[in-house]
A and B are shown apart, each in its own frame.
Chain A
């Protein structure tokens, strides 16, 4: 006996939460695909974007400024991390790369905890947005719709960057074969730095966009990081399209499963990931 009203609202909700996950996962997947480095600090960068935006919001009271500050701050942090630490690990075994990015993530989280404490911080949604909107089939927080729209625009911008610009072409080539790109005389080091910065920026941007929805704490990125991995595995490593489709699938799985058995909603995500690993290990859109 299905509650159709609930079903439709969950379908819709899965789309919205899936889109946010898609944006964060896109950042993770292009870094992994291009650099070959699994950035376990990605969740911490998401959190950092939220806090940078929070500080900017406290100082200026303007949400758009907070978003810009959040995204740019994390982009810079990402570039710094790549230049100062990560680039020395490209030739190291994968375990070392995982350990160093994991360690960086912990350091970022604890630095934030040192300055802000463990209590959650609130970023108010912009006041132009009314708290709730009645869409007919569901009563929904209006800000989540706004966030959805912003995320779609951000994903479109990322798509244009990757598929319609020269640098995007080089990045995609690097995802396929970075050695060849190097041999063609293109400065791969700068590309790597740019990619890491873009990936971090995606996470930071998502972090501040998400802050009015979920109260930010130093550990808010932990759960997100795990879900991003699942999305990247389902969608395929290095595939932008895979991150989007994977994110939407993940969002839908969690929303729809909660209708029947809320306990299983996260478990179902892992079950689907396992199925994909068995049936198509490279992911839905993966090539390797």
Chain B
């Protein structure tokens, strides 16, 4: 029945009823809406939808197949242990994330993992699903810098924080740095700055180095940084053999290196590439006449290659289980990890654990999941008194954690005191000496909103 049909009524009964109902509903509105909708912070990325319930989702984007699968599985375990510790309020994670009680801001942390096989497009696909289906509050995980860099930019577009796990390229906090990404592990420049002086000191200043380099961002930047530091000390670079990530046959490269006149072999490959590089270098007699150097050492390398090939080899690591006497939290971490998983953690696990702990702390400090405030907490210059690798702090200019690098040397099999006693720690180099100028690699952080 239309209002116009009765010209004598000023306002129809229908309109009156509708108007009253509307006014009543309007008065009820502030009570009916959830509190977060009234907050000052506008919706951004998966905020606040991702925290609407009583849990928050962590999207774990990890290589679980392919040449980096073993390192990825280990890193995932570290992340999941950290999440378990957050939900239980474990003392270890509370030592780093001091405001944590249980969960993050009272919300339980749940996670899901997806395989990216070290392929950037798959990584972005997985991350997209995490955001659309799970409303992930944070994305974490990488072994390949190729995927880390892709997810850096994806995170910036989607306004969801992303935390690379293992990422060795200078580009991740260099030309591909973004406001929404934070890297806690060591990388090419830091590794070279730490390992380079040890090599110059112990191996001599006039060496001829051959490089076996995976042909993508990680390999290129490790090569650039290593040659920068070693050539400054007097080394010559005689050849750079670039191979595709995941290559299985290194015979051609090994022959080129054998004929290059080098006396030092620098293996940059990671994961299975490192295993194959070194095994085949041995098969072609390279290791009989050249000294092996591994500036950025992959998890599980010595277990797969054998102690004999790694004896005497200098290498750079993010973490080693045996640094517990210097860093008590490291010992706790190793013990708790081994109790749960039955083996001593590799450095990917430590990297994953650290990232979750530091993220929880940033969110607790910010008091909200609103990304720009969490980012501000990261960038606040807070000094962490202790962590799995001692005191650390974030560098706001490029979102790199200032942390130490562990230089190790492989032990002879006869010197091993236990089955895991692979390395002796040569030096734990503090991070503040190891970082490049923040603008050295072209970092230009984007906007938080």
Q: Determine the distance from Cα of A132 to Cα of B287 in the docked complex, in whole angstroms.
A: 12
Q: Is B259 an interface residue, CB under 8 A from the partner?
A: yes
Q: Which of A221-269 contact B (CB under 8 A)?
A: 222-224, 254-255, 258-259, 262-263, 265-266
- Are A6's CB and B259's CB within 8 A? yes
- Are A254's CB and B252's CB within 8 A? yes
Q: Is A113 an interface residue, CB under 8 A from the partner?
A: yes
- Are B284's CB and A139's CB within 8 A? yes
Q: Which residue of B lies closest to A214 (CB)?
A: B248
- Are A262's CB and B243's CB within 8 A? yes
Q: B283: which of A6, A14, A213, A224 is its contact (CB, 8 Å)?
A: A213
- Are A259's CB and B249's CB within 8 A? no
Known: A17-B251, A258-B241. A120 touches B275 (CB 8 A): yes
- Can you pick out 19 interface pairs between chain A and chain B where the beta carbons lie within 8 Å of each other? A6-B256, A9-B259, A13-B252, A117-B73, A120-B272, A140-B284, A141-B285, A213-B249, A214-B280, A215-B276, A219-B65, A219-B66, A219-B69, A254-B249, A262-B240, A262-B242, A263-B242, A265-B252, A266-B244
Q: Is B70 an interface residue, CB under 8 A from the partner?
A: yes
A105-132 CB contact bits vs B (8 Å, 1 = yes)? 0000110010001111010000000011
User: A190 → chain B, closest Cβ, in Å?
Assistant: 35
Q: Determine the distance from Cα of A107 to Cα of B121 in the docked complex, in whole angstroms.
A: 22
User: B245 → chain A, closest Cβ, in Å?
Assistant: 10
Q: Which of B242-280 contact A (CB under 8 A)?
A: 242-244, 246-249, 251-253, 255-256, 258-259, 272, 275-276, 279-280
- Are B251's CB and A13's CB within 8 A? yes
Q: Which residue of A lies closest to B283 (CB)?
A: A141
User: B352 → chain A, closest Cβ, in Å?
Assistant: 16
Q: Which of B191-233 contact A (CB under 8 A)?
A: 215
- Are B283's CB and A10's CB within 8 A? no
- Are A113's CB and B283's CB within 8 A? no
User: A256 → chain B, closest Cβ, in Å?
Assistant: 8
Q: Is A217 an interface residue, CB under 8 A from the partner?
A: yes
- Are B303's CB and A223's CB within 8 A? no
Q: Determine the distance from Cα of A167 to Cα of B335 in the docked complex, in whole angstroms.
A: 63
Residues of B within 8 A of A17 (CB): 249, 251-252
Known: A120-B304, A141-B284, A217-B272. A262 touches B252 (CB 8 A): yes
Q: Determine the distance from Cα of A16 to Cα of B282 in the docked complex, in whole angstroms.
A: 18
Most chain-A CB neighbours within 10 Å: which of B251, B258, B283? B251
Residues on B lying within 8 angstroms of A by beta carbon are 64-67, 69-70, 73, 215, 240-244, 246-249, 251-253, 255-256, 258-259, 272, 275-276, 279-280, 282-285, 288, 300, 303-304, 306
- Are A222's CB and B252's CB within 8 A? no
Known: A120-B304, A141-B283, A262-B241. A220 touches B252 (CB 8 A): no
Q: Determine the distance from Cα of A219 to Cα of B243 in the docked complex, in whole angstroms.
A: 17
Residues of B within 8 A of A255 (CB): 251-252, 255
Residues of A within 8 A of B275 (CB): 120, 215
- Are B252's CB and A263's CB within 8 A? no
Most chain-A CB neighbours within 10 Å: which of B249, B275, B280? B249
Known: A113-B65, A140-B284. A223 touches B251 (CB 8 A): no
User: B394 → chain A, closest Cβ, in Å?
Assistant: 32
Residues of B within 8 A of A91 (CB): none
Q: Which of A65-123 contact B (CB under 8 A)?
A: 109-110, 113, 117-120, 122
Known: A118-B70, A138-B255, A254-B252. A223 touches B280 (CB 8 A): no
Residues of B within 8 A of A138 (CB): 255
User: A113 → chain B, closest Cβ, in Å?
Assistant: 7
Q: A120-B272, A131-B282 are in contact. List 9 more A-B contacts (CB 8 A).
A: A10-B252, A10-B256, A131-B283, A144-B283, A217-B69, A219-B272, A220-B248, A255-B255, A259-B256
Q: B259: which of A3, A109, A117, A141 is its contact (CB, 8 Å)?
A: A3
Known: A9-B255, A139-B258. A118 touches B284 (CB 8 A): no
Q: Is A5 an interface residue, CB under 8 A from the partner?
A: yes
Residues of A within 8 A of B241 (CB): 258, 262
A137-160 CB contact bits vs B (8 Å, 1 = yes)? 011110110000000000000000
Residues of B within 8 A of A6 (CB): 255-256, 259
Residues of B within 8 A of A218 (CB): 65, 69
Q: Determine the distance from Cα of A16 to Cα of B284 in the docked complex, in whole angstroms.
A: 14
Q: A258: which of B73, B248, B252 is its contact (CB, 8 Å)?
A: B252
Q: Which residue of A lies closest to B74 (CB)?
A: A118
Q: Which residue of A lies closest to B242 (CB)?
A: A263
- Are B246's CB and A132's CB within 8 A? no
User: A147 → chain B, closest Cβ, in Å?
Assistant: 11
Residues of B within 8 A of A109 (CB): 65
Residues of B within 8 A of A139 (CB): 258, 284-285
Residues of B within 8 A of A265 (CB): 252
Residues of A within 8 A of B306 (CB): 122
Q: A5: which of B259, B272, B280, B282 is its contact (CB, 8 Å)?
A: B259
Residues of B within 8 A of A262 (CB): 240-243, 252-253, 256
Known: A6-B255, A262-B241. A119 touches B304 (CB 8 A): yes
Residues of A within 8 A of B288 (CB): 132
User: B208 → chain A, closest Cβ, in Å?
Assistant: 15
